[in-house]
Amino acid sequence: MSNNAGRPSLIIGLTGGIGSGKSTATQIFQTLGVDVVDADVMARVVVEPGKPALQIIAGHFGPQFLHPDGSLDRAAVRQRVFADPTERQWLETLLHPLIRQEIAQRLRKSASVYAILSSPLLSETGQDALTDRVLLIDAPETQQLERTRLRDGASPEDVAAIMATQWSRSQRQARADDVILNDGDLSQLETRVRAMHQAYTALSTTPRQTE
């Protein structure tokens, strides 16, 4: 019997609103040697050609939602469900359990002391059930807007529309076990991520209390 069977002893769910600095913080954890599972990547894996979900989606919406090479036209699907809550619900009911399964499988394979699940919709999709703690990358809304504008060239109105579909800052804060405030420059973010990494490393090597 391997004492490393199953999953790492500690799984951290990392989340935050658009432009909060999730991807940047996740990359810093990665450079510190932490295995990361990215929920956005897993969301693409479950609809790859050959996966059952792709057939189901094409059957439901029609073959015009596939590219000529047989892959999913994600932009077309996004547009289709954007203004139609019933279809959006249908798609989420299909995909969310599959994405969770894929994430769980990848997390089980992780070999680092602790692992991170990075997900913009961690709690909204129930993926937080796969984690031991929720780490919020938190930033003032003005900075979310400004960073997204600089990154994507998105207008404040576009970013505000996306933010309106996501949990509010206070909802996220209420759900988080740990918070990294990303309100300074990149070197401050790195210092804060390093401190959190030390805390998680200590936590994951401390034997758990049995109840």
- List interacting residues with ligand ADP (CB under 6 A): 16, 18-24, 147, 151, 182, 184-186, 189
Q: What are phi and psi of 35, to 5 degrees?
A: -70, 135
Residue 195, phi then psi, degrees to nearest 5 = -65, -40
Minimum distance, C-beta of residue 23 to ligand ADP, in the bound complex (Å): 3
Instruction: Please state, in angstroms and rounded to a whole number, the distance separating the CA atoms of residues 56 and 54.
Output: 5
To the nearest whole angstrom, how small is the minimum distance from the Cβ of residue 19 to ligand ADP?
Answer: 5
Nearest distance in Å: CB 148, ligand ADP? 6
Least distance (Å) between residue 150 CB and ligand ADP: 6
CB of 205 to ligand ADP, least distance (A): 28
Residue 61 or 167 with smaller CB distance to ligand ADP? 167
Q: Return the closest-CA partner of residue 11 out of 33, 37, 32, 31.
A: 37
Q: Which is nearer to ligand ADP, 9 or 24 (CB)?
A: 24
Closer by beta carbon to ligand ADP, 74 or else 208: 74
Distance in Å, CB of 68 to ligand ADP, minimum: 31
Nearest to ligand ADP of 186, 202 (CB atom)? 186
- Tell me the C-alpha distance between 158 and 169, whole Å: 18
CB nearer to ligand ADP: pick between 15 and 204: 15
Residue 39 vs 57, nearer CB to ligand ADP: 39
